[in-house]
Amino acid sequence: MTEHVDWLVVPGSGAHIRSGPDRLIISQGNGVEEYDLNDLSHLLLAGRHTIQTATVTRLLRHGVRVSFLEPDGEPVGVLQPIGGDREGERLRRLQECLPAHGVALTIVAHAVHVRLGLIGEVGTEFYAGELEVIQALVAELPNLIRLQELQRAHRMLGDMYYEIMGRSLPPEIGYRRRTGSPYRDPVNALLSLSYGILSAGVLGACIGARLDPSIGPLSLGERGLVRDLGDCFRTEMVDRTIFGLLKSGLTTAAFDRSPDRCQLSEELVREVTGHLHRSIDQARIDRQVRQYVGVLEGDLEFTIV
């Protein structure tokens, strides 16, 4: 029997999911895991698996929601006990009423702190006056009362960070700064892919905790909460891995660049994905989401776990 879990994500493919009177049994590959149904509140099936209809019935009778997600974490649908998701509705109201400024400030300050740490690790030099501008922005953060001001500072600090980090890479890669889609260099393409993998883990945890992924303390709109909580981990779980892999350069066979876009090779995607599976700590992401629920409940002050 495994340790207590509030929600459980079954990723990949090929899992066989069945149940006993008070337990959930998941066979995947060569392993078998068992979970106490009395501890479980949400089962998330991300990918292609087999589940018995009797198991679905038993889960619903125990008050366990069952969500179905695409392999990349995109939600497809949810089954829940009759009576609706009162807990999800309650948490949504708490999200809407949260005094968001303190949480948003903590996220922005943490992001710039770990980014400066990674710049120091790779040894990239600042241009004249660059560090002073960053330090002045950081010093001003506690005085930024409006969320729009924090959002603007967060974007500016992020833009500077990506441009500075680009100087640690070989010039022939062709990366200068972070851009939007379509991505015309392998670095932006890899960062986009990698952030998508991280976001899938954050999204699954948010859905598992019955949070509304679109209501973030700093970001508004679709998946705002996913972006905000993802910002707590992007540098440590993704950037350190990606920039470390790219520091020695890429072979021309690793990507195909045209005037319109850059296509990554399947071999490069597999290699990077393997590294990310080791660097992205899903257990830590889950703890952060649980901590955020505690903040909404008024029991905890928001910190980065």
Of the segments 75-89, 99-113, 203-217, 277-291, which one has the largest average pLDDT value?
99-113
The b-or-e profile of 61-76 (16+ CB within 10 A means b, else e) is ebebbbbbbeeebeee
Distance CA 154, CA 152 (A): 5
Is the pLDDT assigned to residue 275 strictly greater than 80?
yes
Cα 58–chain centre separation: 31
Band of pLDDT at residue 87, cut at 50, 70 and 90? confident
State both tokens at 205: 């945890």
pLDDT of res. 55: 95
Is the pLDDT assigned to residue 3 strictly greater than 60?
no
Between 46 and 36, where is the model more confident? 36
Mean pLDDT of 46-60: 90
Is the pLDDT assigned to residue 179 strictly greater than 70?
yes
| Share of residues in the chain with pLDDT > 90 (%) | 52
pLDDT of res. 11: 78
The two most distant CA atoms of the chain are separated, in Å, by: 67
Q: Out of 62-76, 153-167, 171-185, 260-274, pick the least confident.
A: 62-76
Q: Out of 14-18, 85-89, 173-177, 194-198, pick the least confident.
A: 85-89
- All domains in the chain, ordered by first residue: 7-84 (3.100.10.20), 93-297 (1.20.120.920)
Band of pLDDT at residue 288, cut at 50, 70 and 90? very high
Distance CA 151, CA 167 (A): 25
Q: Out of 32-36, 172-176, 215-219, pick the least confident.
A: 172-176
Mean pLDDT of 91-118: 96
* H or E, element range at 12: none
pLDDT of res. 282: 87
Mean pLDDT of 104-132: 95
State both tokens at 158: 């992020």
Distance CA 290, CA 206 (A): 9
Band of pLDDT at residue 221, cut at 50, 70 and 90? confident
Q: Model-level pTM greater than 0.75?
A: yes
**pLDDT single digits (tens) 135-144:** 999 999 999 9
pLDDT of res. 83: 66
CB 67 within 8 A of CB 78: yes
pLDDT of res. 63: 84
Is the pLDDT assigned to residue 2 strictly greater than 70?
no
Contacts made by residues 259-263, CB under 8 angstroms, sequence distance 24+: 259/184, 260/182, 260/184, 261/182, 261/183, 261/184, 262/183, 262/184, 262/185, 262/186, 262/188, 262/189, 263/189
Mean pLDDT of 36-45: 87
Distance CA 186, CA 264 (A): 7
Band of pLDDT at residue 279, cut at 50, 70 and 90? very high
State both tokens at 179: 């851009």
